[in-house]
């Protein structure tokens, strides 16, 4: 059964979790995680979103956000779209359909 849609009200404190499919790693090393943090560091002020805490685990990550005026969906779409195309930009895969070989 699909998860019920998140209440996306500006200023709401939210626990957000991202995870990889099939318990795969979401990054290969500390450099990958640092890139996500750098991306968040730029993205959060732009979207007026606060991040109170985060935790990176090998196959998922947790964040505690207070959403900005546009809610939490806008910054998360921008962050996750970046994460999904990162192997393509890094020339690890030629096509996003190769994602199964990037784990």
Domain ranges of the chain: 13-101
Question: Given pLDDT bands bounded at 50, 70 and 90, which one contains residue 102?
Answer: very low
Give the 3-state secondary structure of residue 91.
coil
**Whole-number CA gyration radius for the chain:** 14
Q: How many CB atoms are located within 10 Å of the residue 79 CB?
A: 19
**pLDDT greater than 70 at residue 1:** no
Q: According to the model, what pLDDT value does residue 54 have?
A: 92
Distance CA 50, CA 83 (A): 20
**pLDDT greater than 70 at residue 21:** yes
pTM listed for this prediction: 0.71
Return the C-alpha torsion angle 25, 31, 33, 35, nearest 10.
-130
Cα three-residue angle 77-83-79, rounded to 5 degrees: 30
Q: What's the pLDDT tens digit per position in 42-93?
A: 999 999 999 999 998 888 899 999 999 999 888 888 887 866 666 667 777 7
13-101, superfamily in CATH?
Answer: Transposase IS200-like (3.30.70.1290)
Q: According to the model, what pLDDT value does residue 62 have?
A: 95
């Amino acid at each position: 059964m699909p998860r019920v849609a998140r209440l996306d009200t500006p200023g709401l404190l939210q626990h957000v979790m991202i995870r990889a499919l099939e318990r795969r790693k979401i990054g290969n090393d500390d450099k990958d995680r640092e890139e996500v943090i750098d991306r968040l560091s730029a993205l959060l002020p732009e979207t007026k979103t606060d991040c109170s805490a985060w935790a990176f685990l090998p196959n998922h990550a947790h964040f505690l956000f207070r959403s900005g005026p546009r809610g939490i969906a806008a910054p998360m779409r921008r962050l996750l779209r970046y994460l999904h195309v990162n192997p393509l930009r890094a020339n690890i895969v030629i096509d996003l359909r190769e994602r199964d070989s990037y784990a």
